[in-house]
Amino acid sequence: MELGIEGRRAIVCGASRGIGQAIALQLAREGVVVSLVARTREGLAETAGQISAAGLPAPQIVVADLMTEEGRTHVMTCCPSPDILINNGGGAPPGDFRDWARPEWIHALDMMMLAPIDMIRRVMDGMIARGFGRIVNITARSVKNPHAVLGLSAAARTGLVAFSSGLSRQVVKHNVTINSVLPGIVASEAQFSHIRGLSAMTGRSYDELWAEKARANPAGRFGTPEEIACTTAFLCGAQAGFMTGQSLLVDGGDYSGLF
């Protein structure tokens, strides 16, 4: 399926590894010129190398901390007119809500809600003026299926999704869409970190928890970053202009609700 986005420009946040890296590669395969954003150059160089080795449009490397005003400004200076924004980043570790004081909550909100919202604010007017924009937030299944140990992540990410859904209805008439992808268990660094946190909390081995999670999923396995990337790329396509304000679960059937 031709997505009709060849020659478009995209900002992909968290593009140095895992899901963000896979999304950057998939968009590049569609002919998109990608600005790769993360805090460290080494991972971005690896992603850029994979894109270049495949003979795809040369990407731009942008080293920036999106948690800071300066970092977000730097990204927009490097890529001032993006057609596509992928909000993607790390999550908060699992824990007990009794241990989360105000600093932990503020950090989670800054990272998973307020920084992505500010990126949306910065790109929105340009997208409207050009008559095309695709914004995709990579969040988590905890938005629809929350668990107490993931309270920091679930609360912050749900705020981002709620804001995005409301805004999406104001801007879709300009051919600007905002959607969210909610990955389930995916074999990526975020999941590795999550299981390490659970292991520290429970005293159970990493391998035991990994195998248990895979068995518990209806698909009997972890998803891949590439599966998330393909879903995300579709939402960035020209054909997806009538789809907005949605939260798409990509979780191997783990969520059992109808809506």
Domain ranges for the chain, please list them: 9-186+225-250, 187-222
What is the mean pLDDT of the segment spanning 17-23?
Answer: 97
**Cα torsion at 191, 20, 154, 84 (round to 10°)?**
-170
For residue 258, what pLDDT is reported? 87
What is the DSSP annotation of 143-159? Answer: GTS--GGGHHHHHHHHH
Residue-wise pLDDT tens digits, 93-129: 889 999 999 999 999 999 999 999 999 999 999 999 9
User: For the chain, how long is the longest CA-to-CA vector?
Assistant: 54
pLDDT range class, residue 259, cuts 50, 70, 90: confident
Share of the chain above pLDDT 90, in %: 91
Whether 193 shows a pLDDT value over 90: the answer reads no
What CA–CA distance (Å, rounded) separates 102 from 206?
Answer: 30
- Provide CB contacts within 8 A for 9, sequence distance 6+: 32, 33, 34, 35, 79, 81, 82, 83, 84
Instruction: Count the neighbouring beta carbons within 10 Å of the beta carbon of residue 224.
Output: 14
Angle, CA of 60, 115 and 77, to the nearest 5°: 35
Length of the chain (residues): 259
* Residue 205 DSSP code: -
For residue 189, what pLDDT is reported? 82
Whether 201 shows a pLDDT value over 90: the answer reads no
What does the mean pLDDT of the chain come to?
96
For residue 1, what pLDDT is reported? 82
Q: Kindly state which CATH superfamily the domain 9-186+225-250 is placed in.
A: NAD(P)-binding Rossmann-like Domain (3.40.50.720)
Instruction: Count the neighbouring beta carbons within 10 Å of the beta carbon of residue 43.
Output: 21
Whether 217 shows a pLDDT value over 90: the answer reads yes
